[in-house]
Amino acid sequence: MGDVVIHDTDRLGEGVTLAVRVQECAAPGGVALSDNAYRLIRGKTQTAFQNGGMQSLKNVSEPMHIWLWPSA
């Protein structure tokens, strides 16, 4: 979650950077969410996310709480 700037066919900004870094925590075929994104969907889906704990992400100043949905 963050600002996204669209310039021609490029997507730039904090939101894009965070999405890339958070998704790097997921297993191949899986999904990873930040705690902020998880709070938005909690109780609104039957998908069971697993607590991924606090993760240090490249170029992100503080560790982030990550939630994981494993691949099938």
Q: What is the CATH number of the domain that holds 10?
A: 3.30.70.1230
Mapped onto helix, strand or coil, the DSSP state of residue 60 is: coil
Give the chain's domain count: 1
Here the tokens at position 71 are 């691949």
Residue 8 has pLDDT above 90, yes or no: no
Task: Report the distance separating Cα 17 and Cα 57, nearest Å.
Answer: 10
pLDDT category of residue 53 using cuts at 50, 70 and 90: very high
pLDDT category of residue 1 using cuts at 50, 70 and 90: low
Domain membership of residue 65 as a residue range: 5-69
Specify the pLDDT at position 72: 59
Task: Report the distance separating Cα 37 and Cα 13, nearest Å.
Answer: 17
Rounded average pLDDT over 49-60 = 92
- Quote the pTM value: 0.79
Q: Which residues contact 34 (CB under 8 A, 6 or more apart)?
A: 1, 18, 22, 64, 65, 66, 67
